[in-house]
Amino acid sequence: MRKTIFMIALIVGASFTTANATEGNNESATTNKVTVTKIVKVNAFCVAISKGDFDTVKKMIQFGENVNKTSNGKTPLMYAARYNRAKIANLLLENGAKLDYKDKNGRTAIDYAKISKATDVKVILENASK
């Protein structure tokens, strides 16, 4: 429970975007400096998956988390594949995660496993697709 609250607080705290701009008025040259920070919003479920927090992921599924709901355009199974979380990938598949979902670039969870060289998850996903 503490981990879940901490992750939610972390996500809320990181969900602010900042932009700073300064302009110098020098006669010989004008200097403009712009700093832009882009914050990508990923839901707590996918954060737990990427961190490999099996117990939190299992609890969230028990409390009704949708195993196919996308976060930042990727399914939870894609996050498990990206970070080679084999035990979590099995859990997601057991609870109805779909293998054929694609992100905006047309990639599936198996594609993420291949790109990330996540051999453990790649084997699990290939066996599940048979």
Indicate the average pLDDT of the chain.
84
C-beta of residue 31 within 8 angstroms of C-beta of residue 24 = yes
Mean pLDDT of 57-75: 95
Q: Look at the alpha carbons of 19, 82, 113, 73 in this order and tell me if their dihedral is positive or negative.
A: negative
Q: What is the pLDDT of residues 24-61, one digit of tens each?
A: 555 555 678 888 776 778 899 999 999 999 999 999 99
| Owning domain of residue 85 | 2-128
State residue 15's pLDDT score.
Answer: 57
CA distance 13 to 74: 22
pLDDT reported for residue 16: 53
> What is the three-class DSSP state of 77?
helix
Q: Judge whether residue 82 has pLDDT over 70.
A: yes
Judge whether 55 and 46 are in contact, CB under 8 Å. no
Q: How many domains does the chain have?
A: 1
Predicted confidence at residue 25, as pLDDT, reads 52
Residue 127 token pair: 């066996």
The SS3 call for residue 67 is coil
CB 7 within 8 A of CB 43: no
Report the CATH number at residue 56: 1.25.40.20
